[in-house]
Amino acid sequence: MVSVTTVRMSPDLSIAKVYLSIFGGKDNDEVFENVHSSSKFIRHQLSQIVKNQLRKTPELHFYRDDSLDYAEKIEELLK
């Protein structure tokens, strides 16, 4: 399962940094690569949704957000 945790926009709205958490599997690297390689398709789908609200659809830059995994490891260590 892939979840968007944070989106940070550049001041001119031309770039969106999308942070993803990937759960439930050993092939997290493969899932992230699939999302990354599909960025043009995802951007096109996004443009169809926001076409009347934004002049230009931002470039999507995907990053892994492993903060939940890190918090889970810390919690396990504290038990």
CATH number at residue 64: 3.30.300.20
Q: Closest Cα to residue 65, out of 18, 25, 30?
A: 18
Nearest CA to 4 among 21, 16, 17? 21
User: Which has more pLDDT, 71 or 19?
Assistant: 19
* Residue 51: DSSP 8-state: T
pLDDT digits (tens, 9 = 90+) for 45-62: 999 998 888 889 999 999
Find the domain containing 11 and state its range. Answer: 2-78
Task: Say if CB 62 and CB 71 are below 8 A apart.
Answer: no
Cβ distance 16 to 1 under 8 Å? no
For residue 29, pLDDT over 90 is answered with no
pTM: 0.79
Q: How many domains does the chain have?
A: 1
Among candidate residues 73, 49, 44, the one with its CA nearest the CA of residue 60 = 44
